Structure 1
Amino acid sequence: MGSKGRSPWRSRGSRRRRLVPLLGAAALAITANGALACPAGAAGSDVDYATHCIPPAIAGLPPIDGTTTANVSVDKENAKVGDTVTVTYTVVKPAAGNPTELALPADIMTPTGKVTLGGAQSGDVTVTGPKKNDPVPGKGAFPSFSMTGTFTVTHAGTITLSPGDYNIHTSYIMELDTPCTVTNPPAPVSESVTATDATQPNTRAISLGSASGKPGDSVTVTGSDFTPGATVTLAGRSGAAGTADKATVTAGSTGTFSGSLTVNDRTTTGIVAYEGSAWSDDKGAGPAAYTVVDDTPVPAGSQKLTTTVKAGTLSMSQAGDAVSLSAVDFGRGGASTGNLRTVTVEDFRGGPAGWSLTGKVTDFTGPGAARIDAGKLSWTPACATKAGSPSTCQAGSAGTVGGSGATLASAPDSTLTGGEFTADARLSLDVPAFTPPGSYSGVLTLTLT
């Protein structure tokens, strides 16, 4: 009799022990994924919104209606049509904590979700997160979790981003899903992207019927890829300056033209063609080289001396290709600082165009899948101009470098530009407090245009 009485108790206890882990997994799926850290980035504003979560039927729990705190961040807040934008959806504070006494194991949860686009562009961005979470104690609060995805910019204007529905998939004892929906969609706007039309390349081109002529000779100028029907000005150039030699022609229906320019100025070194009332790099072509053959007779007993100043190139060099930033402590994080290797710019073109030196950086990758977002790197630029240079360089603004880039230094357009310059910057990487220990590296690419 005693033996028979103990058997049902053991059976009920066994069923109970099997059920508790299932309830724990289901209850966890209702509210959060315990990701180790939120990816760094240009984080948007934290927003609160009502969430309706439906636990798996096996949990035996009613739907949970609560408030979720989340934010949406992007890798570039300014983009052009055609650009790809990476979106990170971070649930900062789930709607509830672990309702059971059961401690839940690590790495059992995989989140997926959607970010809602509004404003200039509509639709949803699908985001996913890694199967990675810290153990969660019984009755403990769940840490935040993040999901990432991408979308392509298709319209110019302000594009808003709001957190949307998400689902928690758990792989603990059983495969379970818990969908959580925004109660009153759309949720508040957390981030926005300012999109502009893609820059159209200037493919206008000209060619000359002759590379030289005497003063007063006419030269045939042929052009292509101009705006059909546009009035095109043909003009002489003396180095970086324009001359009084001008003529106009109308581009045909295919954007081509052929016109004649009489060249009287003996100092002419080139010919340009442009749309509009004045020269523009965006709507012009040239200069095409042209030499005026000065046949003025030399007085008796005299010798005519000539020389040529050849235009050079725009180039840069670096004082090194590696920078070691200062170390930071795990649990504290903060600024990891250093100095950019000095960049020397030489502008020996001798024309009217200025230059711009920009930089952009990749994410800093570390051990395993750990990373520090490119948006965490900022700089304070400085530049100096060598004495005697026609141009004066200007340092870029202090701020974030990131994946979309920033200006390190530049020199403006002018009648005559050129010179030698050095550019430097103080670097600072804002390392999140609990970034996993290890060595992290990113690539800063500098572009001179």
Structure 2
Amino acid sequence: MASATREPSARRPAARRPRRWTAALGAVALVAATAALAAPAHAMATASTPVDFATRCVPPPIAGIPPINGTTTAKITVDNAAPRVGDTVTVTYQVTKPAASNPVDLALPADIMTPTGKVVVGGAQTAAVTVTGPKKNPPVPGKGEFPAFSMTGTFTVTAPGSITLSPGDYNIHTSYIMELDTPCTVSSPPAPVSQTIIATDRPGANERALSLATASGKPGDRVTVSGTKFTPLTDITLVGRAGAAETADKMTFTSDADGGFTARLKVNDKATTGIVAYEGASWSAAKGAGPAAYTVVDDTPLPRNSQKLTASVTAGTLSMSQAGDAVQLSSVDYGSGGGANGDLRTVTVKDYRGGPAGWSLTGKVTDFTGPGGTIDAGKLHWAPACTTKPGSPSTCAAGSKGSVGSAGATLASTPNGAVSGGEFTVDAWVSLKVPAFTTPGAYSGVLTLTLT
């Protein structure tokens, strides 16, 4: 393979851009609340650390005793120690040794204590997560120590990075003869960190695009190539392709301040059937675009007394259509919450281009709005499915299950190949997780699909 050459970009006033198809798909009428499919819980979380912290507990006035200054031992655990932005994390606040005790001589029977509290979130994002525990306890003798208890709650990850979790204030409510509260506050907040989780960005769709000024040329001709939505001021490699292999036609340059470029690639290799552009040292589907189909016209002289016969197959287009533009999700009950579920309208993709390039169908959704305000776009999750029509050169692959969000996710795709194309049907089961006490009414968001 010839070594890479470096040629200054020849800027054209108006670079052609590849077609892009979008379709708005309205998710409408979630009666009684919002909803979203919770991300699957990870089977293992990193170990948490028990911590001790000074606590001031105030017994009920009926006890006639002053506040108690003691030490609480507690730990925080999570169901997902490596979430992505938009994921919902369940936190558990376990108090193994409360600072307070039964303030009266009267023994307390089983299952009359209800704990509530706060988990303090710090680091990459800040919040105070409300946690509650079940009304459950063993019998407590008069003036006896309160038993250990556990409280749970959830929060949504909003930023990547290290997120710390610390125990906060808690309250022990007893329902026996009368309703009494024993609030306990952290004496010197915040309490020590008990659990740290590492959140990462949810990758969005690759919107890099490539177009050619012409689709064919003789060996040695230069083809003008335009690119958009690459990383600004980044080294770009432009190279010919023969199927999945690179050919000798190659050059490198730097993208402009907007992430675009216009370059002229000299194509000598008769094996070249497409052209790709990518960032970094080697091809990556996440940081590349193409291949854009290109044909090297063989101009080898014919033998004497021979005739060259040529038949042409006209390339078509990449297109999509959908069976409707409205999706009615199931309703959820106020006070219970849960998943508002449904199915996207079927999308049909037809790839009649006849080149080596595959395609990608991505989607992103707006926040859901309704009488109670908005539901974050990250609360909408999907489980995609894709079917290939028999006889198609390519085979489509469904995108991953998970959150859609405003950043977007892949619904389906086909890989690049020596020959690609065909017909495909794409579906997805969707679910919106509705908080338990969301104001009743209809909540709607718009899902936009993009085919590239």
TM-score band, normalised by the shorter chain? 0.5 to 0.7
Query: How many equivalent residue pairs?
Result: 361
Tell me the equivalent position of 1:15: none
Using the TM superposition, give the Cα deviation of residue 304 of structure 1 relative to its aligned residue in structure 2, in angstroms: 5.6
Extract unaligned runs of 5+ from structure 2: 1-35, 105-116, 131-148, 172-183
Using the TM superposition, give the Cα deviation of residue 383 of structure 1 relative to its aligned residue in structure 2, in angstroms: 2.6
List aligned pairs for 1:227-376, cutoff 5 A.
Answer: 235=240, 246-247=248-249, 261=266, 263=268, 265=270, 282=287, 287=292, 292=297, 306-325=311-330, 327-330=331-334, 336-359=340-363, 367-368=371-372, 374-375=378-379
- Say whether the 8 Å CA contact 1:383–1:393 is kept in structure 2: yes
User: Partners in 1 of 2:208 and 2:375 — Cα distance?
Assistant: 40
User: Partners in 2 of 1:342 and 1:205 — Cα distance?
Assistant: 28
Extract unaligned runs of 5+ from structure 1: 1-38, 101-110, 117-122, 131-141, 169-176
Tell me the equivalent position of 1:441: 443
Identify the match of residue 388 of structure 1 among 373, 388, 391. 391
| 1:361–1:332 CA distance, 2 compared to 1 (3 A) | same
**Identical-pair percentage:** 30
List aligned pairs for 1:50-69, cutoff 5 A.
Answer: 50-54=52-56, 61-63=67-69, 65-67=71-73
- Say whether the 8 Å CA contact 2:54–2:70 is kept in structure 1: yes
Using the TM superposition, give the Cα deviation of residue 309 of structure 1 relative to its aligned residue in structure 2, in angstroms: 1.7
Using the TM superposition, give the Cα deviation of residue 128 of structure 1 relative to its aligned residue in structure 2, in angstroms: 4.9
Amino acid aligned to 1:63: N
User: Partners in 1 of 2:205 and 2:369 — Cα distance?
Assistant: 34
| 1:339–1:194 CA distance, 2 compared to 1 (3 A) | same
Please identify the structure whose Cα radius of gyration is greater.
Answer: 1
Using the TM superposition, give the Cα deviation of residue 188 of structure 1 relative to its aligned residue in structure 2, in angstroms: 3.5
Give 3-state SS (helix, strand or coil) of 2:427's partner: strand
| 1:366–1:90 CA distance, 2 compared to 1 (3 A) | farther
Amino acid aligned to 2:353: R
TM superposition score normalised by structure 1: 0.52
Using the TM superposition, give the Cα deviation of residue 263 of structure 1 relative to its aligned residue in structure 2, in angstroms: 3.9
User: Partners in 2 of 1:446 and 1:234 — Cα distance?
Assistant: 32
Q: Deviations over 1:202-230 (max 9, x none)?
A: 9898988x9865x55554889999999x9
Tell me the equivalent position of 1:185: 192
Using the TM superposition, give the Cα deviation of residue 74 of structure 1 relative to its aligned residue in structure 2, in angstroms: 8.6
Amino acid aligned to 2:164: L
Q: Deviations over 1:21-59 (max 9, x none)?
A: xxxxxxxxxxxxxxxxxx996689797754433479xx9
- Say whether the 8 Å CA contact 1:232–1:275 is kept in structure 2: yes
User: Partners in 1 of 2:343 and 2:370 — Cα distance?
Assistant: 21
Give 3-state SS (helix, strand or coil) of 1:425's partner: strand
* Structure with greater proportional helix content: 1
Tell me the equivalent position of 1:419: 422
Using the TM superposition, give the Cα deviation of residue 114 of structure 1 relative to its aligned residue in structure 2, in angstroms: 3.9
Tell me the equivalent position of 1:173: none
Give 3-state SS (helix, strand or coil) of 2:418's partner: coil
| 1:384–1:242 CA distance, 2 compared to 1 (3 A) | same
Give 3-state SS (helix, strand or coil) of 1:78's partner: coil
| 1:61–1:382 CA distance, 2 compared to 1 (3 A) | same
- Say whether the 8 Å CA contact 2:75–2:167 is kept in structure 1: no
- Say whether the 8 Å CA contact 2:209–2:290 is kept in structure 1: yes
- Say whether the 8 Å CA contact 1:359–1:401 is kept in structure 2: no
Are 1:127 and 2:127 an aligned pair?
Answer: yes
Tell me the equivalent position of 2:84: 78
**Cα RMSD after superposing both structures:** 6.4
Using the TM superposition, give the Cα deviation of residue 385 of structure 1 relative to its aligned residue in structure 2, in angstroms: 1.9
Using the TM superposition, give the Cα deviation of residue 323 of structure 1 relative to its aligned residue in structure 2, in angstroms: 1.8
